Amino acid sequence: MTAAPKLHVPVREVAVARWLSTDLAAIEIGQRHPLAGGVKSPLVERVEVSAVRTTGGRDRFEVVAKRAATAEVIALHEIATVPAADAFPELIDAGTDDSGPWVVMPFYPGSTLPWDAEVPETVFASLARLHYRYLGRSSTLPVGLPRVNENFCRQALMDFSPSWILDAQRTRPHPVHDRALDLLHRWSRDQRIHVGLHVLPAALLHGDVYGHNVVVADDEGRRPLLIDWGSARVGPTMLDVALSADTSSGGFSAYLRAWEKVAGCPLDPWQAEAGHAWATAFGNAMFVGAVAARFGPTHAERMLNKAEVALERFGQLLAGVQPPAN
């Protein structure tokens, strides 16, 4: 008889001790608790840990033990190598067992932002450092990371987003759903979407930068953290920026400042504007279905409006058309 797979993620004392990097007599692993809201899940747990010092003292803290997608494991290993990216979580341990990949990370007390909240500037500064590190090196990243290529875009526009729209339509029909389905169908064949993949630089992405994936500390002593790297992928860099920061925002300015600091020169203005326009168009189209289903037609309509304006602007930039002077 085959043994059932182990659902609990192992928390290995040796890995915790290595992460703490102090002189310890022992590491003791304590009780496990569901991570969020009392929902019992075998996939994500808070685990109590005690570090026993050689002097006899004891430090208590918690870690997160999580079943993870392969892409998240890869990304957490990679972001650990990015200097001064202090808005990213640490990785304590990772591995694979009969139930698949898993990770262990510190538990960061705090609360996530509202889904449509302004993402803190420090997050965008860290993303700029990540993107620059992998600029021109995306082909060297492991194959376990999804690629934003033509197949990815087609699937997002023809399957992923429409499936959400259809769910919303069955629950609460609205004219915006038909508009969204029409746009997604047309854009799945729009050459501007596919051209963007060839003219915009790609790097390692978080893939889902918005308020619910940012943890703000209970105290002011720790910076906000960008969590949940399960949507990590390789693609045009502005996909990590455009959904949560428009070009007039503090987040976009922080991204450009951090890029210039690490690169030693500013980000090419055409790449910045064109990349943001393309990512605004594609990102809003990709997620409009999920927003329509979760937050209603008003938010979805705003996303469609932004997407259409952005794709038109991207087409103008491809053609070398300058905006009229004010």
Given pLDDT bands bounded at 50, 70 and 90, which one contains residue 101? very high
Please, which pLDDT band fits residue 221 given cuts at 50, 70 and 90?
low
Q: Name the percent of the chain lying above pLDDT 70.
A: 93
Task: Look at residue 73 and tell me whether its pLDDT is greater than 80.
Answer: yes
Q: Rounded mean pLDDT of 182-199?
A: 96
Selection from 64, 142, 146, 47 nearest residue 103 by Cα: 64
Question: Amino acid identity of 289?
Answer: G
pLDDT at 3 over 90: no
User: What's the confidence (pLDDT) of residue 6?
Assistant: 60
CA distance 164 to 153: 16
Q: Would you put residue 233 in left (φ > 0), alpha (ψ -120 to 50) or beta?
A: beta
Report H helices in the chain: 13-20, 70-79, 121-134, 150-155, 161-171, 175-187, 191-199, 250-263, 269-295, 297-319
In this prediction, residue 36 carries a pLDDT of: 66
Q: How far is it, in rounded angstroms, from Cα 31 to Cα 49? A: 8
In this prediction, residue 324 carries a pLDDT of 54
The CA angle 123-129-132, to the nearest 5 degrees, is 135
Task: Assess contact for 217 and 224: CB atoms under 8 A.
Answer: yes
What is the 3-state secondary structure of 299-311?
A: HHHHHHHHHHHHH
**Number of Cβ atoms within 10 Å of the Cβ of 278:** 28
Using the Cα atoms of residue 91, residue 92, residue 96 and residue 97 in order, give the sign of their dihedral.
negative
- pLDDT category of residue 39 using cuts at 50, 70 and 90: very low
**Residue 180 confidence (pLDDT) above 50:** yes
3-state secondary structure (DSSP) of residue 87: coil
| pLDDT above 50 (res 1) | no
As a whole number of angstroms, the longest Cα–Cα distance in the chain is: 75
- % of the chain exceeding 90 in pLDDT: 82
| Res 321 pLDDT > 70 | no
Q: Both tokens of residue 65?
A: 């033990």
- Rounded CA separation 234/149 (Å): 9
- Average pLDDT in the chain: 92
Residue range 130-140: mean pLDDT, rounded: 93
CA distance to 6, 65, 98, 121, per residue, from 3 (Å): 9, 22, 10, 48
Residue 118: which of 216, 24, 229 has the closest Cα? 216
Half-sphere exposure of 154 toward its Cβ, with a 13 Å CA cutoff? 6
- For the segment 123-130, the average pLDDT, to the nearest whole number, is 98
Q: Which domains does the chain have, with CATH numbers?
A: 13-106 (3.30.200), 110-319 (3.90.1200)
* Backbone torsion region of residue 16, taken as left when φ is above 0, otherwise alpha when ψ lies between -120 and 50, otherwise beta: alpha
Q: What is the pTM of this model?
A: 0.91
For residues 163 and 34, which has the higher predicted lDDT (pLDDT)? Answer: 163
Mean pLDDT of 28-35: 90
Integer angstrom CA distances of residue 182 from 120, 158, 177, 313: 34, 10, 9, 20
Give me the pLDDT at residue 139, please.
87
Res. 2: pLDDT tops 60: no
pLDDT digits (tens, 9 = 90+) for 272-295: 999 999 999 999 999 999 999 999
Query: What are the pLDDT digits (tens) for 254-277?
Result: 999 999 999 999 999 999 999 999
CA quadruple 6, 9, 13, 18: dihedral sign:
positive
- The continuous run of DSSP H or E covering 202 comes out as strand 202-205
